[in-house]
Amino acid sequence: MATQHRSQVKRERNQENREKRPSAKLSYARIPVQKACFVMDAIRGKNVEQALAILEYNPRYASSVIYKLLSSAVANAENNNGMDRSNLYIAECRADNGPIMKRIQPRAQGRAYRIQKRMSHLTIVLDER
């Protein structure tokens, strides 16, 4: 005989195993993974202030999206975890494949070429030094 309901047991177990580091995730970003990774590689392992400066002056489109995502992760760290902004660094950042929108481009002589509009799921995890 269980003393607690199964959902309550699962909730407590998941609470113990949950990631303690602050993070932010953006799903279904209209950026191909390869293009997002160029920007992610530039900021991986850097402290937050330095990474925000890199993103602000990077000419790529992905940098503006990742700038907002990093700002959100910093706000999560300050408000939810009470961490100091000056001690934060980017512990982990990744771009995973999302769904692909398939479109058709009409071509000569009745042919049709397929255009693939790729999406990605972006994740940034911060930690304190």
Q: What is the CATH number of domain 21-128?
A: 3.90.470.10
Task: Say how far apart CA 108 and CA 56 lie, in whole Å.
Answer: 42
HEC readout, 72-106: HHHHHHHHHCCCCHHHEEEEEEEEEEEEEEEEEEE
Of 62, 53, 58, which Cα lies nearest the Cα of 34? 62
Does this model's pTM top 0.85? My answer is no
Q: How confident is the model at residue 94 (pLDDT cuts 50, 70, 90)?
A: very high
pLDDT, tens digit, 9 for 90 and up, residues 53-84: 999 999 999 999 999 999 999 999 999 888 99
Burial category of 58 from C-beta neighbours within 10 Å (exposed 0-12, middle 13-18, buried 19 and up): middle
Q: Which amino acid is at 49?
A: E
Domain boundaries, the chain: 21-128
Q: What is the mean pLDDT of residues 43-50?
A: 94
Q: How confident is the model at residue 31 (pLDDT cuts 50, 70, 90)?
A: very high
Residue 12's pLDDT is 86
